[in-house]
Structure 1
Amino acid sequence: MAERRLGVVMNGVTGRMGFRQHLVRSVLAIREQGGVALSDGIRVVPDPVLVGRDEHKLRAIAAAHDLDRWSTDLDAALAGPDELYFDAQLTSVRESAITRALAAGKHVYTEKPLAHDLEGALRLVRLAHEAGVRTGVVHDKLYLPGLLKLRRLVESGFFGRVLSVRGEFGYWVFEGDLQPGQRPSWNYRTEDGGGIVRDMFPHWNYVLENLFGRVEAVTTKAITHVPERRDERGEPYAATADDAAYGIFELSGGIVAQINSSWTTRVHRDELVEFHVDGTHGSAVAGLHRCVAQHRVHTPKPVWNPDLVDATPFRDQWSPVPDNREFENGFKAQWEQFLRHLCDDGDHPYDFLAGARGVRLAEAGLESSREGRRVEISEVRP
């Protein structure tokens, strides 16, 4: 079967997400399976160029995975014939790098958030349009098994009229004294683009707008619960970014969503993220992998009586939504979709403008928290 090599300049592969999810579990996994099949039978095989600032890490990654192309010089990598640029760097340097990639005529696929602020995101939208290239922003949570099952319920009309969504996301990120922190220290410094609002609200935007409706207003309380942490060297530093955010999102159609995002909570739920959806005809709870549902004809009739211990097994009254298919790694599935979009005119609606909407929600959330008010969100236009 004929193959087409597609050169991919991958910037930021020495970081956790860039290495594990995008290089190893996506691009190299796609290569291992023989590429992505197009409609004409040709298979597109990604050929990565690893880019980063640490020569020793790049050299080690390349050697471990039998790769011979890597560079610490982004401009030199962009000067080559490779067609696609991918960015998994810190948010604070992403806009500059993508701007250089667009100037070099590259198509771009990038981690979120697209830029540090809406102005920068829209600037990239315009530059991409002028360059005539295709763009994509990672929307990985839409490809999780739990949310794919939830989408199946939504599209089947299971819920009737959706009333509300409640989301819980987070876990305890160690401060670095008792145990090393399991997230990079820049996440907790505003000056480096950190903060849970900037990190997670772009996710919540695409989850909500693709499953339930456009976010029309937000009310948020963002807070730094842990003011001091220790970095990767064990040195103390001031945590200047928010590590928890409590948000109310008003969606089109009158749906109300409440989502708590926290790196300062201990988990007492089945998965690290869960969405509880209530509708007139049924309800569901979806996590990363599992999804359970309860139709109105199976809904019990609790009676409030605080004087008696309620022995009702409420969790047992929900039915699992079956897999009914084999689910791919979510990052890999979106890489495959984007490669088809790039090479075969396949559908991929998650472009730079979609990424800009996520940045807008993060900005609105921070504005709401700072000013202590509800913030309406107008439609984002380039």
Structure 2
Amino acid sequence: MSTRRLGIIMHGVTGRMGMNQHLIRSILAIRAQGGVALSDGSRVMPDPILVGRNEEKIRRLAEQHGVERWTSDLDRALGERKDELFFDAGTTQMRPTLLEKAMRAGKHVYCEKPIATNLEQALHVVRLAKELGLKNGTVQDKLFLPGLQKMRMLKDSGFFGRLLSVRGEFGYWVFEGDWQAAQRPSWNYRAEEGGGIILDMLCHWRYVLDNLFGAVRSVSCLGATHIPERWDEQGRRYDATADDAAYATFQLEGGVIAQMNSSWTTRVHRDDLVTFHADGTLGSAVAGLHDCVIQPRAATPRPVWNPDQRQTLDFYDTWAAVPDNQPFDNGFKAQWEMFIRHLCEDAPYRYTLMEGAKGVQLVEAALESWKERRWVDVPALEV
């Protein structure tokens, strides 16, 4: 069978996420396996060109990983007709402009989220893609995590019965940068540069909640800037102007209540950096990045409250692991393969720019809730 070339303009891949997850573990891994198989038996081989403003940095990255094509001239790259797809993992503030530029050059687009810093810009690129008839996608990586795929399987099988509630915990301690280097870039803590955990993480929670537990209908959110000063990559002190923690409650379709704590100022005492605990009438489950444990109704212990005696019941021991009955590939790579099949043979694909816009919608509602100290509805989004 034949192999088709797919030219991909990859922008923003010198950053941690773009380089590790999208370039190395997705596109280069797909190339190493011989491309993406289509339904007719043919294959698609990605042919990336790396684009970045820093010529020396982008050249070194290309040479290090054996990528033949690279450039610091985005306009020239967009003008190359043989490259059909534009991918962006750069800064959120630049993304709407870059997506529009790429689409007006006739490119299909795939990008990281958030797709914009506000809903108006997000809907603009959604409408433009529709107007120009271009295929488009937004990264929804957490849906492809093994732990959440197991959670989806439980829900689809009817394990939970009637779903009651979901509790999520995400985060870890990000060092301030003075006596130990921070694990995140300093712009994350500057609102004027598109920083803030609400913008960064509630886009994720929107697609997780919508796809696994029920469509988000309203939100109550309290944000906080717990650490008011930090030190940047050059060791300079700066004022943190963006939120570093968010405490949100969501009302979902069907009466399900979801709570999600997101924090870069918490120390981890749980099984993973993110966990989701779902309770239903017939059973409960807790999922992390890779593992998922369950406790069905018939195997639920019967604890008795007695503060005068030390607890003798080992609660962790009463849960059973969901087995790894299938192999799980890297989540970013799995979605890349799905989008490439959509692009090349029109395979079904639902994670479009509109799904990215829904994430931005929830961010705006959460920020409004925090500012006005009230519940905010999240209406159905249309263009």
| TM-score of the aligned structures, taking structure 1 as reference length | 0.99
Q: Give the match for residue 112 of structure 1.
A: 113
Structure 2 spans left out of the alignment, 5+ residues = none
Q: Which amino acid aligns with 2:28?
A: L
Structure 1: 4+ residue segments shifted above 3 A = none
Name the SS of the counterpart of 1:201 in structure 2.
helix
Q: Which amino acid aligns with 1:258?
A: Q
Q: Give the match for residue 41 of structure 2.
A: 41
Q: Give the match for residue 84 of structure 1.
A: 85
Give 1:41 deviation, angstroms: 1.2
Q: Which amino acid aligns with 2:328?
A: F
Q: Give the match for residue 176 of structure 1.
A: 177
Q: Which amino acid aligns with 2:39?
A: S
For residues 234-245 of structure 1, the aligned pairs below 5 Å read 234-245=235-246
| TM-score of the aligned structures, taking structure 2 as reference length | 0.99
Structure 1 spans left out of the alignment, 5+ residues = none
Distance 1:226 1:90 in 2: 23
Q: Is residue 63 of structure 1 aligned with residue 67 of structure 2?
A: no
Give 1:178 deviation, angstroms: 1.6
Distance 2:114 2:62 in 1: 27
Aligned-pair RMSD on alpha carbons? 0.6
Q: Is residue 50 of structure 1 aligned with residue 37 of structure 2?
A: no
Q: Which amino acid aligns with 1:5?
A: R
Give 1:71 deviation, angstroms: 1.2
Name the SS of the counterpart of 2:307 in structure 1.
coil
User: Residue deviations 1:323-349, cap 9 Å, x none?
Assistant: 101100000000000000111111210
Q: Give the match for residue 167 of structure 1.
A: 168
Distance 1:274 1:365 in 2: 21
Q: Give the match for residue 317 of structure 2.
A: 316
For residues 122-137 of structure 1, the aligned pairs below 5 Å read 122-137=123-138
Q: Give the match for residue 193 of structure 2.
A: 192
Q: Give the match for residue 229 of structure 2.
A: 228
Distance 2:346 2:233 in 1: 44
Name the SS of the counterpart of 1:311 in structure 2.
coil
For residues 85-104 of structure 1, the aligned pairs below 5 Å read 85-104=86-105
Give 1:22 deviation, angstroms: 0.2
Q: Give the match for residue 351 of structure 1.
A: 352
Give 1:75 deviation, angstroms: 1.2
Q: Give the match for residue 263 of structure 2.
A: 262
Equivalent pairs, count: 382
Give 1:267 deviation, angstroms: 0.4
User: Residue deviations 1:189-234, cap 9 Å, x none?
Assistant: 1111110000000100000000111100000000100011111111
Give 1:130 deviation, angstroms: 1.1
Distance 2:55 2:301 in 1: 61
Q: Which amino acid aligns with 1:144?
A: L
Distance 1:377 1:67 in 2: 44
User: Residue deviations 1:149-170, cap 9 Å, x none?
Assistant: 0000000000000000000000
Give 1:57 deviation, angstroms: 1.1
Q: Give the match for residue 3 of structure 2.
A: 3
Distance 1:134 1:321 in 2: 36
Name the SS of the counterpart of 2:348 in structure 1.
coil
Give 1:123 deviation, angstroms: 0.2
Distance 1:208 1:84 in 2: 29
Q: Give the match for residue 364 of structure 1.
A: 365
Q: Is residue 27 of structure 1 aligned with residue 27 of structure 2?
A: yes
